[in-house]
Structure 1
Amino acid sequence: MRYAFTTLAYPDLKLPEVIERVKRFGFDAVELRVADDGIHLKPSYPIEKSVKEIIGDIKVSDLAGYARFSSPDDLEREKNIKLAETLILMAHDLGTSGVRVYAGQFKDSPEDAIKRVRNSLNGLAEFAEKNNVVLMIETHDEMAKLDFLLKLIKGLDERIGLVYDPANMIFSGEKHEDVFPKIYTRVKHVHIKDFVVKDGKRLFVRPGRGVVPIKEIVKDLIKVGYQGYISVEWEKMWNRDIEDADVVLPLYLEYLKRCEE
């Protein structure tokens, strides 16, 4: 199994400091968050030479972008399609084959929103393939609900994959053992994090201390011959009070490797 962590874990560090930790901790790759805030990388093509020099020989598991396609506003949706195209070109330039995207929140009927998401992704599939990149929609927001996810997949171009985030789906009321058998053929990338629920909110914790069945997830991935990365998504960016990533990421890597045994 191959392991990465997302730069979401280091909101206060510059890219060189994050990249250095990939080798230091023993991860196989880094998942690069690409956002307008430019904390680590902005969605801009061509990529600056200095960025490529910083990354060096470190493998990039995928680009975690923020393109969303559920909006009923045609101009907003077109803007996000252009963003996705930029992310695809960036991924190709960096030698990574995956780009994470979102469906987005539903502002009108789920049926209409899902149709817009599906049509947008299907329209991007050929462009992605030409650049040797797979667009991967994350089980996030509305797509953390199995019913909506299955409705999206029905009629979705086979070249579009999934980022499976079990923690998101569990928090939305789903169970890994119900979800995974229905979607595993689409899964190209996996986010792992553990959490407990406190006052109706997620509190992210060390692996094995929460409600996410990480060991079973790893075993199931091995069983189906999963070839992608498992990426530790320590959401320090949005939860500043959780433990420092320098402490937690090595613990996750050690725990995940033990789960393979």
Structure 2
Amino acid sequence: MNLNRRLFLATVLSGFVQMSFKKGRKLCFSTLGCPDWTWEEIINNAEKYGYKGIEIRGLGSEIDILKSPVFSKAMLKESKRRAEDSGVEIVNLNPSSNLHQTETSKRQANLDELKRYVDLAVELNSPYVRVFPDKFAFKNDKEKSLNLISEGLQEANEYANGSGVKVLLDCHGDLVWSEDIKQVMNEQPAGSSGIIWDYFNMHYLTEESASKMTKSLKPFIEFVQIKDGSFKNRETHEYFLPGKGEVPIAKVLRQLDKINYKGFISLEWEKRWHPELPDLKQALPLFSQIINA
């Protein structure tokens, strides 16, 4: 075999491997981006734009999906069947539960809500439920604050153990520094939990690089959310269509490739909180194009 032929075959094979890997990237979007869509519209648009997963953060006027008719006892089986028939996985359920409460009744209420979401995730065959850390409750004692978050996550993990559902800690609020997140996760039983990696949330406050984040957090990254926006505006979060802001999405993707990440990559389009944003239908094809470039 001459050199030119070997070079040609090597180039074709390399291209095939890269194309196969990129085709393996699984796209997901959050219902945070479509507060006005019905369940039928959510599933239809996931199919239309080639998204194989959805994470549920509110439906219609209800931010707490435990109160939504879509997942009531009367409709749950049909809602689940509609997604399954379309090949759309309900990947992640997003309650508002947090782990920073110090007052006993409030802390228990948050944990009880989280457990009810775990129960719903079991019924929906959903692998993940998100929880917020969220604040450092003891302003002058970070270690005590981290311990409080860690203890709450341990209780949640114990409840979910054996259910087929993992509780994922969101990189959010005060818990956005890699080493702090790593400390909390190292206190959990191995494999019992994971994190949602959100580069924007972390970099906005820490200015850490994507490589530093993944180097520290590689063992724990179970799910990835990406949004684009401005890091210059420190007064309020300012978001842009995918590829139009300051988030180095290509660098984030390269880091995911380096750690051999095979999970879902979710577009978090915060239209529920920012109604001025364009319709999610504008963001979905742009996000797909960028992720699969």
Q: TM-score, with normalisation over the residues of structure 2?
A: 0.81
1:1-261 to structure 2, matched below 5 A, reads: 1-34=25-58, 38-39=62-63, 41-42=65-66, 47-55=72-80, 56=82, 57=84, 58-108=88-138, 109-158=141-190, 159-173=192-206, 174-197=208-231, 199-200=233-234, 201-258=236-293
Task: Tell me the secondary structure at the aligned position of residue 130 of structure 1.
Answer: coil
- Structure 1 stretches of 4+ with a deviation exceeding 4 A read 34-37
CA shift for structure 1 position 34: 4.7
What amino acid is aligned across from residue 4 of structure 1 in structure 2? C
Whole-Å separation in 1 of the counterparts to 2:246 and 2:215: 19
The 8 Å contact of residues 31 and 59 in structure 2, kept in 1 or not, is answered as: no
What amino acid is aligned across from residue 133 of structure 1 in structure 2? V
The 8 Å contact of residues 138 and 164 in structure 1, kept in 2 or not, is answered as: yes
The 8 Å contact of residues 81 and 120 in structure 1, kept in 2 or not, is answered as: yes
Whole-Å separation in 1 of the counterparts to 2:66 and 2:117: 10
Give the percent of matched residue pairs that are identical in Structure 1 and Structure 2. 23
What amino acid is aligned across from residue 129 of structure 2 in structure 1? V
Whole-Å separation in 2 of the counterparts to 1:246 and 1:120: 37
Q: 1:34 to 1:12 in 2, by over 3 A?
A: closer
Give me the CA root mean square deviation: 2.2
Q: 1:203 to 1:71 in 2, by over 3 A?
A: same
What amino acid is aligned across from residue 200 of structure 2 in structure 1? A
Task: Tell me the secondary structure at the aligned position of residue 148 of structure 2.
Answer: helix
Whole-Å separation in 1 of the counterparts to 2:92 and 2:219: 18
Larger gyration radius, structure 1 or structure 2? 2
CA shift for structure 1 position 151: 2.8
Report how many aligned residue pairs link the two structures.
258
Whole-Å separation in 1 of the counterparts to 2:46 and 2:60: 23
The 8 Å contact of residues 71 and 106 in structure 1, kept in 2 or not, is answered as: no
Task: Tell me the secondary structure at the aligned position of residue 38 of structure 1.
Answer: coil
The 8 Å contact of residues 142 and 148 in structure 1, kept in 2 or not, is answered as: no
Q: 1:254 to 1:40 in 2, by over 3 A?
A: farther
Whole-Å separation in 2 of the counterparts to 1:66 and 1:36: 16
Whole-Å separation in 2 of the counterparts to 1:17 and 1:133: 26
Deviations 1:185-242 (A, max 9, x none): 1011100111124542332112222222211222222232223211100111111112
CA shift for structure 1 position 71: 1.1
Unaligned runs of 5+ in 1: none
Once the two structures are overlaid, the 10-residue window that deviates more, 210-219 or 63-72, is 210-219
Q: TM-score, with normalisation over the residues of structure 1?
A: 0.91
Once the two structures are overlaid, the 10-residue window that deviates more, 33-42 or 225-234, is 33-42
Whole-Å separation in 2 of the counterparts to 1:32 and 1:52: 16
Unaligned runs of 5+ in 2: 1-24
Task: Tell me the secondary structure at the aligned position of residue 235 of structure 1.
Answer: coil
What amino acid is aligned across from residue 10 of structure 1 in structure 2? C
